[in-house]
Structure 1
Amino acid sequence: MLDIAAELHRWTVQGRDFAVATVVRVTGSAPRQPGAALAVDQAGEAVGSVSGGCVEGAVYELCRQALDDGITVRERFGYSDDDAFAVGLTCGGTIEVLVTPVRAGDGVRPVVASALAASAAGLPTALARVVDGPPELLGRAVVVAPSAAGAGGDDGTSTSSEDFERAVVAEARAMLDGGRTGPVTVGTGGSRCGLPVTVFVESSVPPPRMIVFGAVDFASALTRAAAFLGYRVTVCDARPVFATAARFPEADEIVVDWPHRYLATAEVDARTALCVLTHDPKFDVPLLKTALRLPVGYIGAMGSRRTHRDREAALREEGVTAHELGRLHSPIGLDLGARTPEETALSIMAEIVAERHGGSGARLTGARTPIHHTAAPFTGAGPVDVATPDVAVLNALFAPGG
């Protein structure tokens, strides 16, 4: 539900009751991924989507029912060849949705409200909800967020072990650290002990960051493309005459500094993309030497194959290892036959998207690879700055949700 946090936060501030249906599992091809949500308030107003239209009507009615009876339910939708007119997904996949009532007096409301407020404010937030396990746990929730966002409520009705509570919080934090959304399994006795309980964790993190080095025409096109895809873009160049806001109006930040010096102190994480477009060894080599030792998600450098070979040799002389060089995407981008700056930007962004989601970059026509990939866990990432939850947050896991 955090994908529509701004709207739902407004509803909670206004005191509206609502029910929210969240996609918690996807099998095969489906129009929306886990975390997508549709919410309906007591007046019948709806926001969000779980299927792009295929099953919205049926999910809408489930939300209305949850508002009436206060019961959390999990429902599966798929396509049935036996009944082509049944409610289902025409794309052939299946989705499972968790429908949770969020009404005044419901124990889960303060937990959800806390997560929505933090997410709407742009703070790193994870909301974990039980989606499979003992019936009495279905829909129970916990929020892991920075201390400034507050903690979930506690009605004092906790009936499960503290080990289970802490295990859920630990799993939620691990997902948040990587900016991931998806299911995790926790035993009722904590960790892997006891009956398995499936917990769906939604992570809401600030936009991923891209740092573009080299204030050139290609950088201008790349900045526009990256901003369009939701990146927070910084352009860095040591030449003040080129690194200007007038030349890069779509950039969130313009930095005039030597690239390697700026990167040494820049805030980066496993979702950060670094694009080196400088074409100059005096900038490229010290910059890439620094970049290849940072826990970032993507490092690419522009240049011909000959430039790449020369750059690689210079980096080896600087002590960069073969393993570190293996992280470098050079020449940068996918083979689209790009020529213009805009086409080149598309090529670069296509490679970044493929890298982030585990795509092959191959044609879908005739391919046997999945259309929608499940992103692999990020590796080598530094932690997101998330405060340790207090006891109230732990106990809030067991606030009645249905």
Structure 2
Amino acid sequence: MLDIAEELHRWVEQGRDFAVATVVAVGGSAPRRPGAALAVDTDGTAIGSVSGGCVEGAVYDLCQQALLDGETVLERFGYSDDDAFAVGLTCGGVIDILVTPVRAKDPARPTVAAALSAAASGSATALARIVSGPAELLGRALAVRPDDSHSPSYDGGFGAHPELDRTVAAEAGAYLDAGRTGTVEIGEQGSRCGAPLTVLVESSVPPPRMIVFGAIDFASALVRIGKFLGYRVTVCDARPVFATRARFPDADEIVVEWPHKYLDRTDTDARTVLCVLTHDAKFDVPLLELALRLPVAYVGAMGSRRTHLDRNERLRQVGVTELELARLRSPIGLDLGARTPEETALSIAAEIVANRRGGSGISLTGAHTPIHHDASSSTAVGRIGSVA
């Protein structure tokens, strides 16, 4: 539900009762990933989506029923060969959906409210809810916050055993560190309640960073598509005449500084993408020498194949290893035949997405590869132990 945190936070602030349906697990070509949510309030207002339209009507009805009876339910939807017009996913996938009431009198509401408030404000938070296990624990929630100590801080709990809360908080903290959403299986002994449990952990983290080095016309187009993909975009160039707000109105941040010096002092993480568009050795070499040793998601550099070979040789001369060079995407982007700045930006963005999701970059037409390569697909439907 954290994917619609801003709207739900407003509902909480307004004192509305609502029920929220959250995708717990998927199989096959299901259109939405775990964590996607649809919420319905007592007036019948609906926000969000769990299937792109296939089963929204049935899920809407489940939310209204949850508001009436206060019961948390786990429902499975899938495609039926016997009746193609039955409620199900016509794409052929399978989806498990947790429907939870969030009413003023429900014990989990304060915990859910805390997680929604944090996510709406852009703070990192994780929400853990029991989706399979003893009936009295279904829908219970625990909200986890990052902490400087080795143990994450958390609000709420499951009301079973303190050790269960600590166990789930630790697991949720690991998911939060990675920015992942998925399910965690806890065995009977670990659950301390006499039964195994399945817990859905939703993570909400600040947007990942895209840092574009080189304030050129191609960078302007890349900034726009980076924002479209949900990145917080920084443009960095040592030349003040080019690195201006007028040239990059869509950038979150514009930095006038030598690229390698800025990269050395700024924060990056495993989701950060670095796009080097300067194709000038005096900027590229010290920048890439540092970038290729950082634990970031993607490092790409613009330039011709001749520029690429010359740059690689210069990098070897300053001590960059072959293993480090293997991380460099150069020439940057996928082969789309791009010529204009906008087409080139699309080529770069396509490579970033393929790198993130594990895609091949080849045409889907005639291919025998999966359409979805999301790493979170390891959260398979078959792991859920009790479904309706």
TM-score, normalised relative to structure 1: 0.89
Shift in CA distance, 348/88, structure 1 to aligned 2, threshold 3 Å: same
TM-aligned CA deviation for residue 151 of structure 1: 5.5
Are 1:375 and 2:375 counterparts?
yes
> Aligned to 1:185, what secondary structure does the other structure show?
strand
1:196 Cα deviation from its structure 2 partner? 3.5
SS in 2 for 1:40: strand
Q: Which has the higher contact order (CA 8 A, sep 6+)?
A: 1
Q: Kindly indicate whether residue 172 of structure 2 is the aligned counterpart of residue 152 of structure 1.
A: no
Q: Distance in 2 between matches of 1:214 and 1:320?
A: 22
How many residue pairs match? The answer is: 372
Q: Could you tell me whether the CA contact under 8 Å between 1:127 and 1:203 is conserved in 2? A: yes
TM superposition shift of 1:190:
2.9
1: CA distance between counterparts of 2:24 and 2:156?
23
Answer yes or no: is the 8 Å Cα contact 1:142–1:169 preserved in 2.
Answer: yes
Q: Which moved more, 1:179-188 or 1:271-280?
A: 179-188
Assess if the C-alpha contact under 8 Å between 1:19 and 1:39 holds in 2: yes
Which one is further off, 309-318 or 17-26?
Answer: 309-318
Q: 1:240-288 CA distances to partner (integer Å, 9 max, x unpaired)?
A: 1111111111111110000000000111111110000001111001000
C-alpha distance in 2 between matches for 1:176 and 1:93:
27
Following the alignment from structure 2 to structure 1, what is the Cα–Cα distance between the partners of residues 374 and 196? Answer: 22
Q: How many angstroms does 1:152 deviate by? A: 3.1
Show the counterpart of 2:49: 49
Aligned to 2:384: none
Aligned partners of 1:133 and 1:359: how far apart in 2? Answer: 36
> For 2:376 and 2:327, how far apart are their aligned partners in 1?
16
> Any residues of structure 2 matched to 1:153-302 within 5 Å, and which?
153=156, 158-160=159-161, 162-190=162-190, 195-302=195-302
Instruction: Go from structure 1 to structure 2 and tell me whether the alpha carbon gap of 1:276 and 1:73 turns closer, same or farther (over 3 Å shift).
Output: same
Partners of 1:197 and 1:110 in 2: how far apart? 22
In structure 1, what residue type is equivalent to 2:176?
Answer: L
- What is the SS of the residue equivalent to 1:189? helix
Cα deviation for residue 84 of structure 1 reads: 2.0
2:348 and 2:224 map into 1 onto residues whose CA distance is 12
8 Å contact from structure 1 (residues 166, 190) kept in 2 = no
Where does the alignment leave 5 or more consecutive residues of structure 2 unmatched?
148-152, 378-388
Identity %: 73
Equivalent positions of 1:3-402 (< 5 A) are: 3-146=3-146, 152-153=155-156, 158-160=159-161, 162-190=162-190, 195-375=195-375
Runs of at least 5 residues in structure 1 that lack an aligned partner in the other structure: 378-402
Deviation at 1:195, TM superposition (A): 4.8
Distance in 1 (CA, whole Å) between partners of 2:340 and 2:192 is 53
Q: CA RMSD in A?
A: 1.9
Offset at residue 131 of structure 1 (A): 1.5
**Cα distance in structure 2, aligned partners of 1:93 and 1:175:** 25
**In 2 relative to 1, CA 369–191 (structure 1 residues): closer, same or farther, beyond 3 Å?**
farther
Q: Is the CA contact (8 Å cut-off) linking 2:184 and 2:199 kept in structure 1?
A: yes
- Once the 2 structures are TM-superposed, how far is the Cα of residue 194 of structure 1 from its aligned partner? 7.6
CA distance in 2, matches of 1:55, 1:9: 25
- Alpha-carbon offset, residue 64 of structure 1: 0.7
Match of 2:385 in 1: none
* Inter-partner Cα distance in structure 2 for 1:100 and 1:74: 9
